[in-house]
Structure 1
């Protein structure tokens, strides 16, 4: 009994807390939320009986929910809350949030007698944490969940044959939303099959009584005709083929397209025809069904059919179909229906998210997202029809997935530890070498001017050009006059030009002081002389060059100069003709790569908002290849390559499948974020690398036998994991988020082992073993990380003018920066936007490179749609497996993903899409997990579907699993080729870049 209560408390409490956080963090669909607030205030001030007679008031809701809004406005006035306050917005969402919880509890109560306690908890959790459900209530602020609760209650009363009460509750449902009318056919089916005229009469009386009684306060003199007209107006209020509903008309590009000009009879047929057809088809299915509980599947099919084929549908009209289909899954236990439910929930959730995310942005009707999701919805409906016929008419069921939960050891530690075989080494090296070519290809220029001109205050330099020029190009640099102090940078100079060296033009100040980033000043006319005058602030120029109208370099000599003026043109051969990202620093390279160079020069680093290890690693590449783009990007690309063997090793240990490990590694290797971030000199690459190290070490520990293995051997992988924590923290603090997941996995492993021990002496031994392990963990996860972290600062603290006492000052400086950061950025995004790539980070653009009009070089940080969007579906599958089967593999993936993602929900500072990068390897693992569990049996058989008659032995050995891996890899490479210009900055036409901007939040400069 206690475990039952605890399970209910954890699921309901977690779902409630999760929704409250979402409701407070996200305003939702502001138009709807503000409309609800206004209706509550207006109805309370004008009186219930007046609102439907006010011609100046827009009110397209029936009376039912107005009672709730009036009550909420009354509470607002009592507590003195402002209408625009966050707390009142939460109150507006609260009825739907509570309704979600009550619906989940009702589902639990309904499932338990049929499948048991664990199944009841599972189905309740699945419903409450389904994104399509909480998006509607906690994020959007809509009331579909509230209305669905009443409708489902009526349906359950119907199955209990409580006709009068059922009719009354259904009458309330109709007063809440007109769309509840689509439940009416199943009520009629039930009484028709029972041949109960008494039930029909009682239901009718109950419904009419509730309708008339609750609507009485809103009419004058029994004028119910006004309310009936309101219902008709609500149905016809949006005269468009589809209002953001991704259905047949969305597939045809008719989203928000007006029905004006459509013949009246055609409009009527498209409005009511699908409902009539679905009603007739539903009756034929229900009449043949053996169980009255087939009502759930038939009702879901009616909602889906009307949503897919009727005009004037909104995106949320499919909402009731999800719960009805889920309840049908409980009844049938058919695993095909389970897969269909997950797809259906995913497509509907994506539909709602899309509308919510782009509520104030115009989207082309033929947007690939709209058309693609609409096609999926049509296909899902067709599949639902076939499933219903097979389940309810033919009586065929494919059970075995959901009937009885399986209890098994979460970490299967009794099995032999998986090892890499020759095949694994071959596959791992293959994908690693192929990606290495991609990573280092065209990484950056291997040469760049380094020596700098550092003029004295007021120094004047006159340059005579060998030929007329019209463009000036210069490279800001840096010097370190005093070791241990900050470097000197700046461009405090003015420049004036002359044709003859006698008459000088206006002095123009140099701008753009980002070091080692080529700057350009074009002039309207040509010139032959240039005069540079330094100002009061420092000026450090690594090189200055001039180009003529044809873009060719123009040599020059110094006519009047200071002591160091020769440095202005001593490296003329290294001046690029068409500078882009290839020759310059871009995005955060101007901070991180610069600081790496300053470390080598013995200067106080310019960027001290992150720990120094990542920049010291970059400095190794600069030592090897020089201060140039290839040098400062080399180590990031190398660590990006190094991530792949780590991911392969981890996935192979998790899934015990070479194919799954190869698939995960390949998809991650050719993920856009992985390619772009690792080819750029920023510290995020090292944070992700060390995150993989620490989780790989923990996984090795999880798969060891805690009883038979000595503590010294158990501590080895924990030491590797702790090393990853320390090095990761020394590169970027947010790596510590993953350390929370390590703690969860460690103690989960201990408890899992204890639960599977049957004898007291074994438990006693495990207790002593646990004490030894925890003691060792202080060394692995406290002492070792602190040592790594401290040593990373040691070179900096040993500089002249510094001491070990400065260590704490650096920590407080970093914390103060991040905790008080109030900056804004056009391409920032919130945590809830990351999984669906709503706002990629635009890193760089060069328009018309090489003088080619209509072209550009652009780089943006985003993910591969296949891995990021497909990975979400795989993650949902992993969640289902974790809850139902309690599989350690699934739990490991979910804990890793959650540890890297969930903490960002609590961060209020400016965030970007690349902060999601550490989560991406776990998406790849989820895809591999889905692959191994779905095709571990079918994948071993020859794929007759692809090669049914091939006599060749090779094709006869090709399995379905091989086909899936090959297909996914081809799609992944196809996406890379398609987006290659955006990933790597290859010059391409602006129109092509514009075409790649599939979502309104995607902007790459085209």
Structure 2
């Protein structure tokens, strides 16, 4: 059983061993009028190229509009922007995060942004995400709320592009790739995270880039293994353990991407570890299929060291590079810790530079803080509930009575921003992920395994921290893989143009109805994703579950 694989000029997918719900014969009608019309539309090479690029460009433009419209509203710090925007500003000024007085938000919102001090501030996350936010501050100014959020918005738009390219590589279908990008473009979770200056969108894009690199390396390494074995066989030499494949630029790129994700938040480490193991498993299976005699030990003793050296050093270099500002200045938090009497290491490690000792102490301290963060929060959500959308995070809420703040409704108004995903899309994607687990066990399709690996890296580690204070919006890092899983299932439902007409029509109608429903729900939720002033009753009818309030 293989996954649907299509040329870009087909309506959906062509599966060499198509999944079918019924038998076919030579007299049973196949395809639909829609297939015939689509075939006529893409008859010429020019039209094929227009569709090849046109669909992805269209969903990218849609994503840009939904993320950039009214980006500067609300004109105040939203949720954890209070940390990251201000930290980004002082990082830009000093090269490290400075300190702020307790009432700094009010002043910052009013445009008086220079109320910081040069004293180093204790921060729980590495600097890269804040450096990226600071680019927007440099372009638009820290007084401009667009400058706070434009970096995350751009990343959210780029994520749609990357997801389209990944989906096309996985499914060999422009239709399915366009659907994947379109679903990410219109989902509320992705929209809100792209319109708020938090760090998680940056983790998501770097992990997604690493995932793409792993996908590209998979095909490249298989071809190089086959070429090596052919040469050995032609030379009359044994295959034994097989080669250590060093020429793997996409694997190096994956290591760098995951290292940069870690330089935003430490959760990027889970992707580095998970996909390092994944690539070794793929290498082992490839060796077995190629006829390598000792394919297990060959992977462990020859390829594993090479894979480690191709990924881990570059990941570490990317992480350390993000701390350059802390190293080259003197004011960062704990920067002179080892210089204080009694703190520096003695004995065999006394030669280690004090800056490195201070840095290590800082990292250990941050680890302890993150692991033991149990402060109660009204929007904390147990990771076990994330897939079911039980407790989304409300980022912003301002209520107005009639006559206040431009409110003209008798029951009052609300400006509300909730990071809830499109619930129909999210729940369907969750169901698809569970189905893919079954499908991997049953058919062992590599595309399914790769998609699920994204979920393993992005979601499963959080189940170790069910007692820690965590939030539903952390799920943005694995949302692209939920969408890929859902689109994979859509491809199965759509079938192929060689399917019986009744099956083809059923699949097209079902997927079409689902997409129309998702679009309608996104239109319904969009005002409470972007903080448009709405009647209070309108905000309240978006509370479908008790935890959504």
Shorter-chain TM-score bucket reads 0.7 to 0.9
1:757 maps to 2:290: yes
1:662 maps to 2:178: yes
Kindly indicate which of the two structures has a greater share of residues assigned to strand.
1
Q: What CA deviation, in whole Å up to 9, does each residue of 1:353-387 have, x standing for no partner?
A: xxxxxxxxxxxxxxxxxxxxxxxxxxxxxxxxxxx
Distance 1:486 1:918 in 2: 25
Distance 1:807 1:637 in 2: 32
The alignment yields a C-alpha RMSD, in angstroms, of 3.4
Distance 1:427 1:765 in 2: 43
Distance 1:602 1:616 in 2: 18
Q: Is the 8 A contact 1:649 1:661 kept in 2?
A: yes
Distance 2:319 2:97 in 1: 23
Q: What CA deviation, in whole Å up to 9, does each residue of 1:190-212 have, x standing for no partner?
A: xxxxxxxxxxxxxxxxxxxxxxx
TM superposition shift of 1:516: 4.8
Distance 1:934 1:639 in 2: 31
1:432 to 50, 60, 69: 60
Change (3 A) 1:876 1:484: closer
Distance 2:374 2:53 in 1: 48
Moved more, 763-772 or 699-708: 763-772
1:780 to 307, 310, 314: 310
Distance 1:826 1:655 in 2: 41
Q: What CA deviation, in whole Å up to 9, does each residue of 1:6-46 have, x standing for no partner?
A: xxxxxxxxxxxxxxxxxxxxxxxxxxxxxxxxxxxxxxxxx
2:434 aligned partner: 876
1:514 maps to 2:105: yes
Larger RCO, structure (CA 8 Å, separation 6 or more): 2
Q: What CA deviation, in whole Å up to 9, does each residue of 1:375-425 have, x standing for no partner?
A: xxxxxxxxxxxxxxxxxxxxxx879xxxxxxxxxxxxxxxxxxxx976333
Q: Is the 8 A contact 1:489 1:515 kept in 2?
A: no
SS in 2 for 1:923: helix
Q: Is the 8 A contact 1:435 1:670 kept in 2?
A: yes
SS in 2 for 1:1001: helix
SS in 1 for 2:359: helix
Q: Is the 8 A contact 1:672 1:863 kept in 2?
A: yes
TM superposition shift of 1:673: 0.7
1:822 maps to 2:374: yes
Moved more, 736-745 or 641-650: 736-745
2:459 to 885, 897, 901: 901
- Matching of residues 830-845 of structure 1 within 5 Å: 830-845=382-397
1:915 aligned partner: 474
TM superposition shift of 1:862: 1.2
TM-score by length of 1: 0.41
SS in 1 for 2:387: coil
Change (3 A) 1:887 1:447: closer
Change (3 A) 1:612 1:969: same
1:935 aligned partner: 494
SS in 2 for 1:825: coil
Q: Is the 8 A contact 1:940 1:960 kept in 2?
A: no
Change (3 A) 1:966 1:516: farther
Q: Is the 8 A contact 1:604 1:796 kept in 2?
A: no
Q: Is the 8 A contact 1:484 1:799 kept in 2?
A: yes
1:800 maps to 2:391: no
Q: Is the 8 A contact 1:636 1:686 kept in 2?
A: yes
Distance 1:774 1:995 in 2: 54
Change (3 A) 1:786 1:713: closer
SS in 1 for 2:374: coil
Change (3 A) 1:602 1:665: farther
2:225 aligned partner: 707
1:609 to 124, 133, 144: 124
Q: Is the 8 A contact 2:162 2:208 kept in 1?
A: yes
- Matching of residues 98-247 of structure 1 within 5 Å: none
Q: Is the 8 A contact 1:666 1:969 kept in 2?
A: no
1:490 to 101, 115, 123: 101
Q: Is the 8 A contact 1:446 1:630 kept in 2?
A: no
1:743 to 276, 283, 299: 276
Q: Is the 8 A contact 2:90 2:97 kept in 1?
A: no
Distance 2:472 2:287 in 1: 40
TM superposition shift of 1:660: 1.7
1:620 to 128, 131, 135: 135
1:690 maps to 2:242: no
SS in 1 for 2:61: helix
TM superposition shift of 1:489: 3.8
Q: Is the 8 A contact 2:155 2:205 kept in 1?
A: yes
Distance 2:90 2:367 in 1: 29
Distance 1:868 1:446 in 2: 26
Distance 2:484 2:304 in 1: 28
1:363 aligned partner: none
TM superposition shift of 1:602: 9.8
1:969 maps to 2:515: yes
1:652 maps to 2:168: yes
2:348 aligned partner: none
Distance 2:51 2:65 in 1: 22
Q: Which runs of 5+ in 2 are unaligned?
A: 1-18, 25-47, 77-85, 229-243, 337-354
SS in 2 for 1:703: helix
Change (3 A) 1:446 1:518: closer
1:855 maps to 2:483: no
Distance 2:99 2:431 in 1: 51
Alignment length (residue pairs) = 449
TM superposition shift of 1:866: 2.2
Change (3 A) 1:782 1:488: closer
SS in 1 for 2:322: helix
2:530 to 984, 988, 1003: 984
Structure ID, larger Rg: 1
TM superposition shift of 1:779: 3.1
Q: Which runs of 5+ in 1 are unaligned?
A: 1-333, 337-396, 400-419, 449-474, 492-511, 520-541, 544-593, 946-957
Q: Is the 8 A contact 1:677 1:684 kept in 2?
A: yes
Distance 2:414 2:321 in 1: 44
TM superposition shift of 1:741: 2.4
SS in 2 for 1:988: strand
Change (3 A) 1:485 1:775: closer
- Matching of residues 727-742 of structure 1 within 5 Å: 727-742=260-275
1:723 aligned partner: 256
- Matching of residues 274-673 of structure 1 within 5 Å: 423-444=51-72, 487=98, 489-490=100-101, 512-514=103-105, 516=107, 518=109, 603=118, 606=121, 608-627=123-142, 628-673=144-189
Distance 1:665 1:809 in 2: 42
Q: Is the 8 A contact 1:715 1:773 kept in 2?
A: no
Change (3 A) 1:485 1:787: closer
Q: What CA deviation, in whole Å up to 9, does each residue of 1:165-190 have, x standing for no partner?
A: xxxxxxxxxxxxxxxxxxxxxxxxxx
TM-score by length of 2: 0.74
TM superposition shift of 1:963: 4.9
SS in 2 for 1:733: coil
TM superposition shift of 1:944: 7.5
Distance 1:982 1:846 in 2: 12
Change (3 A) 1:616 1:484: closer
Change (3 A) 1:992 1:489: same
